[in-house]
């Protein structure tokens, strides 16, 4: 801190803005689409986590994206809501319209600045790109005060041209300048140097916040983002579980915890409530059907597990021997034996609170009943069981089709056969079907009770906890005419979980069909 600087100014200088793009760049990963209800719930979680900026979509891309930005703008009060636009007046108008209800709204404009992208993708001369920046940033600034401008493929751009482009954006009114490593090509010292050079040499650099946006094609997204901060960036764009185009974006949880754990080397504050990280990670994994790898930093199932005798011995003597952060810091309660069938409603509600859930009376009653049913079937009920149970109940509560009964004949002698009863808008319907294996038979029976054209794109099963009585968590992804929907369910019976997950995906697909725009989403080429 210099002599004339106040402590408030010093705090501001060392503050790193967290910009979450799970719902925009994250949703651009093939198969990771989220429904409006899921996005609204995620926005609430992100706001509770104290994320500064929530990029909620790309409003011109589809009615679904417009609606997501618009509805999220209505409910979010503390975080800023951002919408992405290409450098086109039409995109900006649509984005400004979507952001209208936002207390804090940001228009985010992107245009490429590398020779490769300008020549082959945009087919524009560099001077035309500069004109487009001046025109569109200026236009947006008349609609909103908070304007972010992104130089797509900044890390492969000619630095002199990039400098001119940034100066043009600042002059036209941009308040945040983002320098994306769009193709995950840069490496840490190079990216730090890019920020240092631009911040030192660009006219007006002191008036804006510089931002990182890193893709993980070489596995360097987090390292590059942190290097960008060391180079002077004070906003980091990232996504929960590192979701994003191709190999993904920098993982929010890794950036935030690296800044927190290594404050000695990275003295920058994010203000995030890190205890919400596990909840956010689980929710994103559940709604996208993208599992979190076991050894994933911070949020992986094994991130805090100590198996070897030497490590366990060290941990017992002093946790710090092998633990650089505590599971509680990221909201991971040590997987404890919670309750059995004799546990009461009050204890159940307290447990839910501890796990980050506040349910209304009806939802609580339903969840409690499901918990009792589970406790009847399963000797030990763990925290992870309760999380799966509540998440799945919330995900399927509004489903028009519900699984009522399922009986399956399986074994070495085929054909395997499934007998299924569902309710559709309350009316019962039954069918039986054979298949090439019990899962195929179950899915064929669903086809028989609810005929549909959707194709199965993903079927995934994993155990929620250990033991042969563990619940199976099943994710199913369906696709029809380019629309993708994911469903999930957990049950101690793998086939029941499979049927429920498939039916949940089918319900989500029907809901999406009813709401979606003719023509669907635009391709993501900006």
Q: Which residues bind ligand KIV (CB under 6 A)?
A: 25, 84, 110, 150, 152, 178, 180, 182, 213, 215, 526
H/E segment holding residue 489: strand 483-491
CA distance 375 to 44: 30
As measured in angstroms, the least distance from the Cβ of 153 to ligand KIV is 7
Biggest CA-to-CA distance, the chain: 83
Nearer to Zn ion, 64 or 184 (CB): 184
Shortest reach from residue 254's CB to Zn ion, in Å: 17
When CB distances are held under 5 to 8 angstroms depending on the partner's kind, the choice from Zn ion, ligand KIV, none that residue 22 binds is none
Nearer to ligand KIV by Cβ, of 249 and 274: the residue is: 249
If contact means CB under 5 to 8 A according to the sort of partner, which of ligand KIV, Zn ion, none does residue 73 touch?
none
**Minimum CB distance to ligand KIV smaller for 61 or for 470:** 61
Which one of Zn ion, ligand KIV, none interacts with residue 152, CB within 5 to 8 A by kind?
A: ligand KIV
Stretch that binds Zn ion, among 19-27, 37-45, 217-225, 485-493 (CB under 5 A): 19-27
Give the shortest CB-92-to-Zn ion separation in angstroms: 19
The residue among 79 and 150 lying less far from ligand KIV, judged by its C-beta, is 150
In whole angstroms, how close is the CB of 157 to ligand KIV at the nearest point?
A: 11
Of the candidates 283, 181, 169, 174, the one whose C-alpha atom is nearest the C-alpha of residue 238 is 181
Residue nearer to ligand KIV on the CB measure, 129 or 339: 129
143-173: burial string, b at 16+ Cβ within 10 Å, e else: bbebbbbbbbbbbbbeeebbbbbbbbbbebb
Within 8 A by CB and 6+ apart from 115, the residues are 126, 157, 158, 161
In the list ligand KIV, Zn ion, none, the entry touching 226 (Cβ below 5 to 8 angstroms by class) is none
From the list Zn ion, ligand KIV, none, pick the one residue 276 interacts with, judged by a Cβ distance below 5 to 8 Å according to partner type. Answer: none
Nearest to ligand KIV of 84, 445 (CB atom): 84
From the CB of 283, what's the least distance to ligand KIV, in Å?
Answer: 22
Is residue 152 close enough to count as binding Zn ion by CB under 5 A? no
> Using alpha carbons only, what angle is made at residue 286 by residues 282 and 292, rounded to the nearest 5 degrees?
60
**Positions 261 through 280 that interact with Zn ion (CB under 5 A):** none
DSSP labels for 507-521? HHHHHHHHHPPTT-P
Q: Read off the tokens for 45.
A: 């979680």
Q: Least distance (Å) from ligand KIV to the CB of residue 221?
A: 11
Binding-site partner at residue 396 among Zn ion, ligand KIV, none, CB < 5 to 8 Å by type:
none
Q: Does 25 bind Zn ion (CB under 5 A)?
A: yes
Min dist CB 21 to Zn ion, Å, is 7
Q: Across-strand partners of 107?
A: 83, 147
25 or 384: whose CB is closer to Zn ion?
25
Closest approach of Cβ 501 to Zn ion, in Å? 30
How many positions of this chain bind Zn ion (CB under 5 A)?
A: 1
**CB 184, min distance to ligand KIV, A:** 9
Identity of the residue, 176 or 498, whose beta carbon is nearer to ligand KIV in the bound complex: 176
Between 34 and 355, CB nearer to Zn ion: 34
Number of C-beta neighbours around residue 466 at 10 A? 11
Cα separation, 96 vs 107, whole angstroms: 7
70 in Cβ contact with 101 (< 8 Å) = yes
Pairing of strands 455-463, 472-480: antiparallel
71 binding partner (options Zn ion, ligand KIV, none; Cβ < 5 to 8 Å by kind): none
In the chain, count H helices and then E strands: 17, 16
Binds 391, which of Zn ion, ligand KIV, none (CB < 5 to 8 A, cut-off by type)? none
For Zn ion, give the closer residue by CB, 219 or 271.
219
C-alpha 288/C-alpha 243 separation (Å) is 10
The answer to whether the CB of 51 falls within 8 A of the CB of 491 is: no
Nearer to ligand KIV, 60 or 442 (CB): 60
Instruction: Report d(CA 415, CA 314) in Å as an integer.
Output: 54
Q: 248 Cβ partners below 8 Å, 6+ apart? A: 26, 29, 215, 216, 221, 239, 241, 242
Residue 110 binds which entry of Zn ion, ligand KIV, none, with Cβ cut-offs from 5 to 8 Å by kind? Answer: ligand KIV
Residue 491 interacts with, from ligand KIV, Zn ion, none (CB under 5-8 Å by kind)? none
Asked whether position 153 contacts Zn ion by CB under 5 A, the answer is no
Q: Smallest distance, Å, CB 297 to ligand KIV?
A: 22
For 263-415, strand residue ranges (E) read 337-339, 381-382, 401-409
Least distance to ligand KIV, CB of residue 108, Å:
7
**Would you count residue 181 as binding Zn ion (CB under 5 A)?**
no
Return d(Cα 464, Cα 473) in angstroms, integer.
6
CA-to-CA distance for 232 and 179, rounded, in angstroms?
12
Q: Is 77 helix (H, G, I), strand (E, B) or coil?
A: coil
In whole angstroms, give the CA distance from residue 90 to residue 422: 46
Nearer CB in complex with Zn ion: 28/136:
28
Which chain residues interact with Zn ion by CB under 5 A? 25
């Amino acid at each position: 801190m210099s002599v004339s600087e106040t402590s408030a100014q010093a705090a501001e200088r060392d503050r790193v803005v967290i910009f979450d793009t799970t719902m925009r760049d994250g949703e651009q990963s093939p198969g990771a689409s989220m429904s409006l209800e899921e996005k609204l719930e995620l926005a609430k979680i992100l706001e509770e986590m104290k994320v500064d900026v929530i990029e909620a979509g790309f409003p011109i891309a589809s009615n679904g994206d417009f609606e997501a930005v618009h509805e999220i703008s209505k409910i979010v009060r503390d975080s800023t809501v951002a919408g992405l636009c290409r450098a086109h007046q039409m995109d900006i108008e649509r984005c400004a319209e979507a952001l209208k209800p936002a207390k804090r709204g940001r228009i985010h404009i992107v245009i490429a600045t590398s020779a490769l992208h300008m020549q082959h993708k945009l087919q524009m001369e560099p001077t035309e790109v500069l004109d487009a920046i001046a025109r569109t940033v200026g236009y947006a600034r008349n609609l909103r005060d908070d304007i972010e401008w992104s130089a797509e493929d900044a890390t492969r751009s000619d630095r002199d041209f990039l400098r001119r482009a940034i100066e043009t954006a600042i002059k036209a009114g941009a308040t945040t300048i983002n320098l994306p490593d769009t193709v995950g090509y840069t490496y840490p010292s190079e990216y730090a140097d890019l920020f240092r050079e631009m911040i030192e040499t660009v006219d007006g650099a002191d008036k804006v916040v510089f931002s990182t946006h890193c893709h993980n094609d070489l596995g360097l997204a987090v390292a590059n983002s942190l290097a960008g901060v060391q180079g002077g960036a004070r906003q980091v764009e990232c996504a929960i579980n590192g979701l994003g185009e191709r190999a993904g974006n920098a993982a929010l949880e890794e950036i935030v915890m690296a800044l927190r754990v290594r404050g000695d080397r990275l003295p920058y504050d994010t203000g995030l409530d890190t205890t919400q990280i596990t909840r956010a990670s689980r929710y994103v994994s559940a709604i996208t059907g993208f599992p979190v790898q076991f050894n994933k930093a911070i949020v992986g199932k094994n991130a805090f597990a100590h198996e070897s005798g030497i490590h366990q011995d060290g941990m017992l003597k002093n946790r710090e021997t092998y633990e650089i952060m505590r599971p509680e810091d990221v909201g991971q309660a040590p997987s404890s034996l919670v309750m059995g069938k004799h546990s009461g409603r009050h204890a159940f509600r307290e447990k839910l609170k501890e796990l980050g859930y506040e349910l209304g009376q009806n939802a609580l009653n339903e969840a409690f009943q499901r918990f009792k049913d589970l406790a009847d079937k399963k000797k030990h009920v763990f925290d992870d069981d309760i999380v799966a149970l509540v998440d799945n109940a919330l995900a399927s509560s509004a489903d028009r089709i519900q699984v009522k009964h399922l009986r399956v004949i399986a074994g070495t002698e085929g054909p395997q056969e499934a007998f299924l009863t569902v309710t559709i808008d309350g009316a019962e319907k039954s069918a039986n079907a054979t298949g090439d294996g019990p899962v195929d038979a179950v899915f064929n029976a669903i086809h028989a009770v609810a005929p549909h054209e959707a194709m199965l794109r993903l079927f995934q099963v994993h155990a929620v906890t250990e033991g042969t009585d563990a619940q199976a968590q099943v994710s199913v992804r369906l696709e029809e005419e380019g629309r993708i929907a994911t469903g999930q369910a957990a049950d101690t019976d793998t086939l029941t979980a499979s049927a429920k997950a498939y039916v949940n995906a089918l319900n989500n697909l029907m809901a999406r069909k009813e709401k979606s725009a003719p023509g669907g989403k635009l391709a993501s080429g900006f």
